Structure 1
């Protein structure tokens, strides 16, 4: 699991070590130089002779970049440093000059962005050390223009150069993942001591590239500070996934009730059921009208259409809130789940059940699964004037707000999925492929989540002391990871998203689920 800590927590952890004289910057700079050298080798280049450009600001990240440049220069790189801070770190600057780094006082140039781009065009690696974790808000002049020009240059030739960010890409919201202004997208971010929230949270996560954490020995100091954001790894999901034992049978493996689909949108029922069946559980009980029931049975004859005991519910996929009969079925199922303390995934039309305060104090065992537009609608209905653009600009803040207002756990779907409970850390999963942006994919995700909730349904229902209140958020993050991995598999990509992939449908994702789960468990 990747754990990210706030700037304040990092500062507090570093302070006693810096006071004691520990060489944290030296460790960070050596690790940064090692990563740059590795990136060159992985791209088929020799380290000796390669051209590296350091983008140096006035803070500690600029110092890290300069000290890393000294290591690279001694390994034979041609290293250039563009000084873009009024007071570049003196010790780093002296060490860089002594090692043969060519220093450029670009702030004195008539055209600062032009001077930096001219240096950048000759370099195969750009090291972004412009600002660090202490920066707030958008970049200021002249960095705004410089970063804009470099980003345009990079976009014109995305494969080279490689951009390595020091700690964080300059200009992101370090604690909240915001993008308040221009940012130079990184291919790799080498972050020091611990990940920072903005590297995992959207929208900034999209410009961080691959995140690599440098161990500075802060783990013990950070142990007392709860992480602000977590990202599950495959091993975490394998530990969570309900694997049947010799004594299990269909009822002990989890039975999921599904209220999804309608005469107008019958396919959503098929896809939600397919997600649940593909993720693996004991039984699905489907509750719906004739047309979707017939389609579900045609694709999944093992699904039971009779009432009976369940351990979790999926409610709402493919249901129009204006459909009175289906809305009544949703309300009855939600009421039954709440009375029995069973976990619930409320998707699509099911979200309308919490648009007012008819359920003012939902438990965290109810998981809402909106996309950005649906979350904006929900928040507006509950008294917050929010647009889809607002949610997309600050997904984590709005997911947490919705969790606090409703009491439920919120899984906010997107390129990076954010999961928020009323308290506890956020989860941010970026396991999907862009090919997953296709109709019905959310219905499949609801089914996957429902299967996981059903596997833990009896334990959650019996948890009268609240020991498992944090579990639904973790299960929601696990569902997002498996759903994303299945989409990559269906698109022909590697588990890490490598390769261009190919178009997929929601049915392809559902079909890939057993293989994705098996790969995780192996």
Structure 2
């Protein structure tokens, strides 16, 4: 599991560690990890030209100490000081190693070791401007400094300056990094868009922090392998779970085919289709293993349901042969959700659908997806999966998982229908709503990556690649 901790959690853990470490040891750990990440990016240090953009906080100190490491390895390192107060020990270390100050501020003046900058000739810029305690947005002078090196790859220290660290939100100018080197743990902005898109690749440096459970997580292949339901030696089709699909209509029969394709990917023992009869004939022609109505352990409702989606959702919630049956509520069925639901549920909106459910503009959801998905999970007392570049899955109370698998080619019609069916199969196989949604989203993205192989794909390709994504899991 990749865990993303809040600023408050990180600071508390750092305070505990600082109490037992020699002075400066924690910063040296971070700076050394940062320096070697820059070296890896540049494929060497000797002769490389590095510009440090240095602010007043500890991130500036990390950048200065890393600059000293790079200078000792033969890099030509300049530091542009963007504050009258910078980390003095870091600045001394940089100058001692042969680094220089350019564009000095008043306090540090035109002292020995300054020189004009080499704007436009740097190989990399290190963003040590604002630490994790900074607020979104940047000062005009900082924006001007960044504009002078536009086009040069940026390595962000801990987080790109100007992003909302705990929220993943953006408000005004911010750094867009090619690489972000973070310390101890990820922060929410590394996983949550729109800020995550500004982080580039993220490299985590272990500095020995002892951390509590994180509010935002991202599953990794080992986690998916551990959570994935697998058949017992004595399993039969009923013990493996039966998933029912109430999707499609005469107007949108393809949605039924794709929902069933996701459900019938082999992760549950049986799939039942309970939609319109003429659509059912097409479903069974394409998927002869699918059977008619009967007892199920989970329902998938809404994709392509049109005007009948409300009635289908009510029918799914009325299915209580052995207690409330969990339901995946997708697409057209989402329009019939206005409050807490009578059974465990996974709601699967995209930003536009969640905006309509929440009574806000789509742009508001896209600007603050973490906040809106959490609010929706609490409001509807259900797991909410908000589709996006990094899909977010929230359960009531604020716990969130972010999906980082997938690729842009996955933005294709019908892909969400496949996802709904896949999550339904995992529910029927025994996972709870939060795990089914997050494992299903992860597998959906992994299958799309396999099916794409770097090129375009359609939704049916994703469904067909789900077994290969499962086979590729460790263990």
Deviations 1:37-71 (A, max 9, x none): 12222xxxx32111122111111101100000111
Task: Give the aligned partner of residue 255 of structure 2.
Answer: 268
Task: Give the aligned partner of residue 507 of structure 1.
Answer: 460
Can you give the 5+ residue segments of structure 1 that lack an aligned partner in the other structure?
109-115, 155-160, 381-385, 458-470, 493-500
Distance 1:338 1:208 in 2: 49
1:335 paired to 2:335: no
Equivalent residue runs for 1:454-493 within 5 Å: 454-456=428-430, 471-492=432-453
Cα shift at 1:338: 9.7
Question: TM-score, structure 2 length as denominator?
Answer: 0.93
Classify the secondary structure of the residue corresponding to 2:167: coil
Distance 1:319 1:98, change over 3 A: same
Distance 1:198 1:10 in 2: 14
Distance 1:366 1:148 in 2: 48
The more displaced of 402-411 and 289-298 is: 289-298
Distance 1:24 1:198, change over 3 A: same
Cα shift at 1:439: 0.5
The more displaced of 387-396 and 84-93 is: 84-93
Cα shift at 1:228: 1.7
Task: Give the aligned partner of residue 403 of structure 1.
Answer: 377
Equivalent residue runs for 1:60-459 within 5 Å: 60-105=58-103, 119-147=118-146, 150=149, 153-154=150-151, 161-219=152-210, 222=211, 225-278=212-265, 280-305=267-292, 307-320=293-306, 323=307, 325-336=308-319, 340-355=323-338, 357=339, 360=340, 362=342, 365-380=344-359, 386-456=360-430
Deviations 1:481-516 (A, max 9, x none): 110111111110xxxxxxxx2111111111111111
Cα shift at 1:145: 3.5
Equivalent residue runs for 1:1-80 within 5 Å: 1-22=1-22, 23-41=25-43, 46-80=44-78
Question: TM-score, structure 1 length as denominator?
Answer: 0.85
Cα shift at 1:125: 1.8
Q: Which has the higher helix share?
A: 1
Distance 1:149 1:284, change over 3 A: farther
CA contact (8 A) 2:31 2:65 kept: yes
Superposed CA RMSD? 2.0
CA contact (8 A) 2:316 2:327 kept: no
Classify the secondary structure of the residue corresponding to 1:121: coil
Distance 1:485 1:117 in 2: 49
Cα shift at 1:141: 2.4
CA contact (8 A) 1:278 1:510 kept: yes
CA contact (8 A) 1:266 1:291 kept: no
Deviations 1:275-323 (A, max 9, x none): 1122522110001113321221121111002x21111111111112xx2
Distance 1:456 1:106, change over 3 A: same
CA contact (8 A) 2:309 2:332 kept: no
Classify the secondary structure of the residue corresponding to 2:473: helix
Cα shift at 1:181: 1.6
CA contact (8 A) 2:156 2:180 kept: yes
Task: Give the aligned partner of residue 467 of structure 1.
Answer: none
Cα shift at 1:180: 1.0
Distance 1:474 1:107, change over 3 A: farther
Deviations 1:252-288 (A, max 9, x none): 1111000000010110010011111225221100011
Distance 1:310 1:422 in 2: 25
Distance 2:373 2:3 in 1: 19
CA contact (8 A) 1:345 1:366 kept: yes
Cα shift at 1:236: 0.3
Can you give the 5+ residue segments of structure 2 that lack an aligned partner in the other structure?
107-114
Distance 2:172 2:184 in 1: 26
Classify the secondary structure of the residue corresponding to 2:47: coil
CA contact (8 A) 2:50 2:78 kept: yes
- Alignment size in residue pairs: 465
